[in-house]
Amino acid sequence: MERGYMLLLVVLIIAIGRGEGQLVENFYSSSCPNVEGIVRQAVSTKFRQTFTTIPATLRLFFHDCFVTGCDASTMVSSPNGDAEKDAPDNLSLAGDGFDTVVKAKQAVEAACPKVVSCADILALAARDVVVLAGGPSFNVELGRRDGMVSQASLVKGNLPEPDFNLSQLNAMFARNNLNQIDMIALSGAHTLGFSHCNRFAKRLYSFSSSSPVDPSLDAEYAQQLMNACPRNVDPSIAIDMDPVTSRTFDNVYFQNLVSGKGLFTSDEVLFSDPASQPTVNDFAKNSGNFNGAFATAMRKLGRVGVKTGSQGRIRTDCTVINS
Ligand code: HEM
Ligand SMILES: *[C@@H]1O[C@H](CO)[C@@H](O)[C@H](O)[C@H]1NC(C)=O
Ligand SMILES: CC(=O)N[C@H]1CO[C@H](CO)[C@@H](O)[C@@H]1O
């Protein structure tokens, strides 16, 4: 038998033997060979229109994967207003992330109709925005199918809250096969993007009966936050999560944690809890270690709850479940 076929056969046997759908990097090599370039092009066009493309797309991928798996269920719009994106956390999912995937899907459909899932396009776009912001590149595994369910009620309890402590964070990430190092690396996504004031106001004004301001916050940073987010501030006001290099994907997020400038409790606790502090110190000092851990964790995140083979479907319109 020819060598190539032999190899293919071995790969097939291994895949079948595992008995579960596996993602592979070259899933579309014959059905849509240019898919990566097409998505990259659409993402960079969108990025030239607005920087928000970057944080919005990255966060959309995270939310999609943590709620019923990486199946683009978060992309769906419901006429009744009860899809995943309609859950209270929606307010903060910036429209530009959805638009990025819609645009990329249109470009992909023009070249290879009904072949590439919205879930895979979102996974590729999430990698591409990290690269555009100066972060590490990595290969994206493909072969996800799009989910058939998108319900607001499924969001609650599946996304971490900004007041979580280390054990709560670890528990929620562990449910998604992500360990503490993955969790810390992925939290580094907060090197980009915005948060609305209400997500951390408690740390400034009503932390505890003995101390209204969270003592783990650097005093100067706390004052800066109070200036940007006075009590009863307009709820649409949002501030940079990385006060130093908000538009660059870098390890400054971890340096901020070391100096008491983590915006959420869930950020700062990564440094203040001795169980995670060594990893934060490592990532703060060594951007290569952070980049490597982030790339590894993003690939693991992309495997969460995926539908493969005959499960789910390939949507033609990412926002319509049965399209
Ligand atoms: C570790 C637990 C996490 C918590 C508690 C958390 C919580 C939050 C909150 C509350 C916001 C602000 C939303 C707003 O007010 O607009 C936010 C923003 C953001 N999060 Fe997370 N997050 C976590 C992990 C992640 C992960 C794993 C990623 C991606 C890999 C991510 C990516 C982002 C991005 C990029 C933004 C900025 C969004 C924008 O500017 O549009 N987060 N996160
Ligand atoms: C974290 O929070 C949970 C829930 O509030 C609590 O039961 C647990 O004791 C906390 N753990 C630490 C280390 O503070
Ligand atoms: C932009 C958007 O879809 N907002 C909705 C978010 O969810 C609340 C209810 O939780 C709706 O009232 C908003 O219309």
Q: What is the pLDDT of residues 177-202, one digit of tens each?
A: 999 999 999 999 999 999 999 999 99
Is it the case that residue 16 has pLDDT exceeding 60?
no
Half-sphere exposure at residue 140, Cβ-oriented, CA atoms within 13 angstroms:
27
Q: What percent of the chain has pLDDT over 70?
A: 92
The answer to which of 138-142, 150-154, 221-225, 246-250 has the lowest mean pLDDT is: 150-154
Contact 7, 13 (CB under 8 A): no
Cα–Cα distance for residue pair 155/140, rounded to 1 Å = 25
Report the topology of domain 166-300: Peroxidase; domain 2 (1.10.420)
Average pLDDT on 284-309 reads 98
Q: Could you say which DSSP state residue 259 is in?
A: T
Q: What is the pLDDT of residue 17?
A: 43
Q: What is the pLDDT of residue 93?
A: 73
Is it the case that residue 256 has pLDDT exceeding 50?
yes
pLDDT 10s digits, 55-106: 999 999 999 999 999 999 999 988 788 888 887 765 567 789 999 999 999 9
Q: What is the pLDDT of residue 86?
A: 81
DSSP string, 278-322: HHHHHHHH-HHHHHHHHHHHHHHHTTTT-B-TTSSB--SSTTSTT
Is it the case that residue 203 has pLDDT exceeding 90?
yes
Is it the case that residue 1 has pLDDT exceeding 60?
no
Amino acid type, 88: P
Ligand 3 site, residue 236, Cβ cutoff 6 A: no
The answer to which of 1-15, 120-134, 237-251 has the lowest mean pLDDT is: 1-15
Cα–Cα distance for residue pair 58/71, rounded to 1 Å = 15
165 C-alpha vs ligand 2 centroid, how far in Å? 6
Burial of 97 per CB tally in 10 Å (0-12, 13-18, 19+): buried
Ligand 3 site, residue 91, Cβ cutoff 6 A: yes
Average pLDDT on 101-118 reads 98
Contact 261, 243 (CB under 8 A): yes
Is it the case that residue 9 has pLDDT exceeding 70?
no
Cα–Cα distance for residue pair 163/182, rounded to 1 Å = 19
Q: Give the count of beta carbons closer than 10 Å to the beta carbon of residue 272.
A: 18
Average pLDDT on 296-301 reads 98
Annotated binding site for substrate: 160
Ligand 1 site, residue 196, Cβ cutoff 6 A: yes
Strand-pair category, 238-240 with 194-196: antiparallel
SS3 label, residue 149: coil
Sign of CA dihedral 247, 252, 257, 260: negative
Pull the structure tokens for residue 193: 């993007």
Is it the case that residue 273 has pLDDT exceeding 80?
yes
Q: Which helix (H) or strand (E) holds 101?
A: helix 95-111
Does the annotation count 63 as an active-site position? yes
Backbone dihedral angles phi then psi of residue 36, each to the nearest 5 degrees: -65, -40
Q: What percent of the chain has pLDDT over 90?
A: 83
DSSP string, 176-234: TT--HHHHHHHHGGGGSSEEEGGGTHHHHH-S-SS-SS-TTS-HHHHHHHHHHS-TT--
Mutate to test the pocket of ligand 3, among 63, 76, 91 (most ligand atoms within 8 A of CB): 91
Ligand 3 site, residue 90, Cβ cutoff 6 A: yes
Q: Give the count of beta carbons closer than 10 Å to the beta carbon of residue 186.
A: 19
Is it the case that residue 271 has pLDDT exceeding 60?
yes
pLDDT 10s digits, 306-322: 999 999 999 999 999 99
**What does the domain layout of the chain look like in residue ranges?**
22-159, 166-300
Pull the structure tokens for residue 217: 């916050």
**CATH code, 22-159:** 1.10.520.10
Ligand 3 site, residue 86, Cβ cutoff 6 A: yes
What ligand 3 atom has the least distance to the C-alpha of 88? 10
Cα–Cα distance for residue pair 197/191, rounded to 1 Å = 17
- Mean pLDDT in the chain? 92
269 C-alpha vs ligand 2 centroid, how far in Å? 12
Average pLDDT on 25-38 reads 97
Total H helices, total E strands in the chain: 13, 2
Q: What is the pLDDT of residue 225?
A: 97
Q: What is the pLDDT of residue 64?
A: 96
